Amino acid sequence: MTLQTPVLGVGMVGYAFMGAAHSQAWRTAPHVFDLPLRPAMAALCGRNAAAVRAAADRLGWAATETDWRALVKRDDVQLVDVCTPGDGHAEVAIAALAAGKHVLCEKPLANTLDEAEAMAAAADRAATRGVRAMTGFNYRRVPAIALARQLVTDGRIGPIRHVRASYLQDWLVDPESPLTWRLQRERAGSGALGDLGAHIVDLAQYLTGELIAGVSAATATFVPERPRADGGGSGPVTVDDAAVFTARLASGALATFEATRFATGRKNQLRIELNGERGSLAFDLERLNELQFCDRPDNSADAGDPATAGFRTILVTEPGHPYLSAWWPPGHVLGWEHTFTHEVRDLVTAIAAGTEPAPSFRDGLQVQRVLAAVEQSAARESAWTPVDVDVADPREA
């Protein structure tokens, strides 16, 4: 007699851009990876009954709800996936955790630091009952990024000296682009800072294994008003269009960050480089399957021959690379959507094992603290602003 894999019923709130990406991941993960629990796409929630039913049919959800509270109460839902705008994250996630449901919440964790603190506290309480929570920083699941983390952990580039990170988009360059929820503070919390900057802050802390200790920042809103999408005149943009800041890590390493939605010609370019005492690593999302790696000549195969030393390109498609054993033969590249499938794999595996998934809500909270410090610094003419840290964070031990 064959034992059935236990089912993990999933309910998702929100079905737009991120909802579609997460839906594909929930559909795909159990067909690619040998998961200890079988995700079942039980119910999709949205306020418009006809629209959510059409989305559920398109994305593969069995049932629909128009009230997230009803979704949380469903007996066939054991995990709630929060893909709403930021103003819905705290209320939905905290209620779901209190109801004993596991939670996956998109980044940034919340719109405010107070909300993020409350969410992390709720996750801590839930963890004592075996209920798990994860923040959805999907770029940690790029195989090349995961390989970079391994190389840093293994000491291949030595102590970190510099971090350079940027996330560049151009979808707001046209001043006639309409006023969407992402441009309203009450819905989104912040602009490019939270939307894009959250990713590179998380990657910097994840790859280095260190926390950001302080920042000096500047932000700008280049187009203060935009036409309303419904044609009813124009409205104010209440978030930043771009944010830049310098930082120090806890070790004293220097870091620079840039997040903008006004980089003409850049559609979705995320780049991060780490320079260490013994070597460097560089990653560019537009070359998602590649990692640039450099050893100093005195500790590499090129020892004694500086003419051939320097960066080399690792094509991260080998079966021994992170996540790749489940996919295609070497050289057959993966895409952006696979990061969410890997995220589902890691979350489901952690739930089954009874372990804390990463990034946790506390990881999301620490990113939120950096974002808050950036806004505080920018409001005080780039004054140096320390970042509060969680004294229980092992990276501070």
Q: Where are the domains of the chain?
A: 7-139, 143-334+362-386
Which residue matches tokens 């974002």? 371
CATH architecture of residue range(s) 143-334+362-386: 2-Layer Sandwich (3.30)
User: What integer pLDDT is reported at residue 299 of this predicted model?
Assistant: 53
3-state secondary structure of 318: coil
Residues 385 and 217 sit within 8 Å (Cβ to Cβ): yes
Q: Going by C-beta distance under 8 Å and a sequence separation of 6 or more, which residues neighbour residue 160?
A: 152, 208, 210, 249, 251, 253, 274, 275, 276
As a whole number, mean pLDDT of residues 114-130 equals 98
User: What integer pLDDT is reported at residue 303 of this predicted model?
Assistant: 56
Residues 158 and 151 sit within 8 Å (Cβ to Cβ): no
Peptide bond preceding 359: is omega within 30 degrees of 0, i.e. cis?
Answer: yes
Pair type for strands 133-136 and 242-249: unpaired
pLDDT over 90 at 307, yes or no: no
pLDDT over 80 at 390, yes or no: no
383: how many CB neighbours lie within 10 A of its CB? 12
114: how many CB neighbours lie within 10 A of its CB? 12
pLDDT, tens digit, 9 for 90 and up, residues 131-190:
999 999 999 999 999 999 999 999 999 999 999 999 999 999 999 999 999 999 999 999
Residues 371 and 194 sit within 8 Å (Cβ to Cβ): yes
User: What integer pLDDT is reported at residue 301 of this predicted model?
Assistant: 54
As a whole number, mean pLDDT of residues 356-375 equals 98
- Name the nearest CA neighbour of 377 among 243, 287, 254, 204: 243
3-state secondary structure of 258: strand
H or E segment and range at residue 198: helix 198-208
Exposed, middle or buried: residue 230 (CB in 10 Å: 0-12, 13-18, 19+)?
exposed
User: What integer pLDDT is reported at residue 1 of this predicted model?
Assistant: 37
Exposed, middle or buried: residue 306 (CB in 10 Å: 0-12, 13-18, 19+)?
exposed
**Distance between CA 150 and CA 152 in Å, rounded?**
5
| CATH number for the domain running over 7-139 | 3.40.50.720
As a whole number, mean pLDDT of residues 210-230 equals 97
Mean pLDDT estimate for the chain: 95
For residue 210, which amino acid is it? Answer: E
% of the chain beyond a pLDDT of 90:
92
Which residue matches tokens 């007996």? 75
Helices marked H in 33-112 — which ranges? 49-59, 68-73, 89-98
Residues 373 and 387 sit within 8 Å (Cβ to Cβ): yes
CA angle 40, 43, 45 (to 5 degrees): 145
Joined tokens for residue 227? 């036409």
As a whole number, mean pLDDT of residues 215-244 equals 96
Joined tokens for residue 53? 């039913």
* Residue 123 CA: distances (Å) to CA of 119, 133, 281, 356, 380: 6, 6, 34, 10, 33
Lowest mean pLDDT: which of 18-32, 228-242, 293-307, 359-373? 293-307
**Distance between CA 248 and CA 347 in Å, rounded?**
31
User: What integer pLDDT is reported at residue 328 of this predicted model?
Assistant: 97
Same fold, 7-139 and 143-334+362-386: no
pLDDT, tens digit, 9 for 90 and up, residues 2-16:
478 999 999 999 999
